[in-house]
Chains A and B, each alone.
Chain A
């Protein structure tokens, strides 16, 4: 069964304290892995798509990487405005369906 697991469930960082969020997946025929940011009471906001092992993408303080079993979202020198829930999702097989992880709730303290 296709599965996506994110860790940690929650993370508290001091402003400027870099860290990484993990997304482990077990799927048949990965077509893409997606990272989203979700603020409370809002829909997810697209961040990155990764397609193959070794691929990396960056956006401001965020960098996403992908291996054959997991993806990391690295946050460099985070700021309080980076506080949000970060969701990972995979698209696998022949359908358009996305399988979401349970998310990591990030809190960055000033």
Chain B
């Protein structure tokens, strides 16, 4: 199957700092990238959809100035959580799309904001 990597896998930061999460599709090119967040024992909630070379589309209730998404190439997308606060602590998962009938996910990044 397709290989997707995320870095870092875990990050702990102080409130007010910014954190960048990288998502790479290692063996295919993805024109579209989904970013999800997942709270404990909850399902995946779509945050935004990004297309390579264009601005991301954010879901209702997701602050675009807080969660900056860059999809500069077909194999790399980044999510930056700016001025993080404890309520931003969550599991962030990327999902690059290269086929409409299969969705692959990254291994996730656990963010803890103190």
Residue ranges of A at the interface with B (Cβ–Cβ < 8 Å): 31-32, 34, 36, 41-46, 49, 51, 87, 89, 91, 96-98, 100-103, 105
Contact = CB atoms under 8 A, between A and B. Distances in A.
Given A103-B43, A105-B41, A98 B108 contact: no
Contact-residue size bin, chain B (C-beta under 8 Å from the other chain):
20 to 34
Interface in B18-33: 32
A36 to B, nearest CB: 8
A43 B41 contact: no
A98 B43 contact: no
A43 B32 contact: no
Nearest to B46: A97
Interface of B: 1, 4, 6, 32, 34, 41-46, 49, 91, 93, 95, 97, 100-108, 110
Chain A interface main SS type: strand
A96 B97 contact: yes
A26 B15 CA distance: 40
A38 B18 CA distance: 28
